[in-house]
Structure 1
């Protein structure tokens, strides 16, 4: 058997209080030192008649302790291999070890001794000298250790080891069902934790993708409104790159996003006062082609061509002037910050013009006031939230910039024709 990192800890399988009580009775009855050791040979619990006179206690103070641990660990796995207690030499003495198993894995062992297999008077001078040199002891200290150490035969040692390992094995078995049950609970908790973490990572990635796409779309609309086709098409490439990665090549999702981009740009054109039959035909033509397409590369090409034609149409009809750039900058700022309590002074400052001139541009270019445009933007986004599954009216109001939900309901009904509650119900019924 091999050592494994997945082995359960002894303290998770055994009741240490019971083991200590058992060891105490065993030592008092047999006069043999006993230890519970882990798979590396370390003593976890030990009971000795007088630990200060034990050779193991002496060994801990010398470099020989590493060799002792190694020999004990080797003997433990050897005993598991042969299926019975294993007797091995420990210095000039003898130890015996029996394995403890849990779910067919070695979790530790019961080590007895050391003992000597003959009377202390028969301990020859060579063995005395070896002990003195190995542990740096005086002759009187060696004799004290020998006199303390129990004398018994190998057969007696084996019987003692079998008896103790059998009793401790019963303790393992008694706690085994509890251990297995706890293991099952821990496994379930780990699986639940992994699922929760996986879900969080997916949600985080999804939210990150949505935010990234929204930021790119705002930049795209801004460049398109300014007539910068090169930068607008660059943003399209970035948007589709993010979309392709997050959608894993889902054509329906890519088509939906492509149509949304055409709709958003045509909506911007309408806000800028560009409404013509030519623009309507472009939108209808490319919408139909994208819906019918079954190839990502073709959708990408159609989207590029369609958006480029829409941009060209906007500027053929409107031309380009400094006032266009100013109003577009203001529109983009409002679209980004509509959920805040933004005033015309703040928007004008970020558009590098005065509030009065910005108010004039809204009337001239969009045929509406600043307040009307802000309200329209907020209600349009409220409608989108409902279409995307949001059903809490108070939450919707807060997300689009209204702290008073009653006022939001009034404004929503005025612009949409029905209350948000009715609109939510209508969306749910049509699903």
Structure 2
């Protein structure tokens, strides 16, 4: 049995959110140690009786004690859940108790996906991650690791990092766009949600990480293989090879299937991608099965194409390229076709799960960071290119997902925020139009006037007169 020791280092500036909060991250190294945990209890069987069972590779009792102690000592909600988002225990006011989604008429599933995405990012960025749920509330998480990666997680939150009135004005009014009835219900829920200053959140996330860290133990037992899936994989490959053998002449490499496979990846069609990959593997083995090195070379070329397609369709470029680099070395270590096939099935699952499963939550988190950036910097010169650089996306891709998530273009949203801020300033009679224009990010007053009329339906002067008349009445 080995235990993981956590070696701290300063977070790199390229890491999102964590770096923004100045958080320390940790490397994980294995050191010899006596067995600490039992295998744990079996989870419920998936599918029919006799199918593969999963085992918990963490000590749930210790995890419960950790979550309970953290909640009682900090006054924050703390939830212990598995990697699929299923909650085991909740202490204090956690996500399961939060009624914000219900108040807004939103599905709780979006929150679950956001928490799973947060766990995935925490695993990538050194063991902790601060993020926002779809309703704009803040959480942070540390994963409990097993040999196969994150097996469970402890999530702290929800809470807010701004004053309640600012949260209502920015999140509930500007970003989530609730109806008046929904907004009133959400404001009532907000009374139960604690406020935590940003600098304290940073330290609390480190504290949670250190508390969870000793549980991040690598089990002495190897992960159990999904034998049913493995047999299905081998059957599909064998069946396709038998079809090829019926043809009179050796068929050429099916480039058309390769193209359709990449289309399935782009559409997030998991079943189609797996089926086509198995058929392509069968074609490669049929033609080059006698040359193991040539098989490896062709498979790596295929994996590179899949990774590039993933990046083009919104996958995290840095993470995907790192996977591709790792696969280059792993693929060379296989000595049998059977082991290579099993590994390839796992690689496909990894791509489809990690790169696409949480895309909606990832987009929500990215858009939330963009809208917060706009709210904090609307007085300055803000461009789509600068904002895209901040969230490590191309301007074209950010523009597309911004419109999908918010219903308006990036510039339309920016102008709406600036006009709303200008409306507040127009209530102050002593401020000149030129001063207001500059204060909300417009250097040209005439352009400010045009934008204001387009958004508000009237000129700034007319809006001011309307407000002054209403005050007299």
- Relative to the length of structure 1, the TM-score reads 0.34
Q: Which has the higher helix share?
A: 1
Highest Rg: 1 or 2?
1
- Relative to the length of structure 2, the TM-score reads 0.31
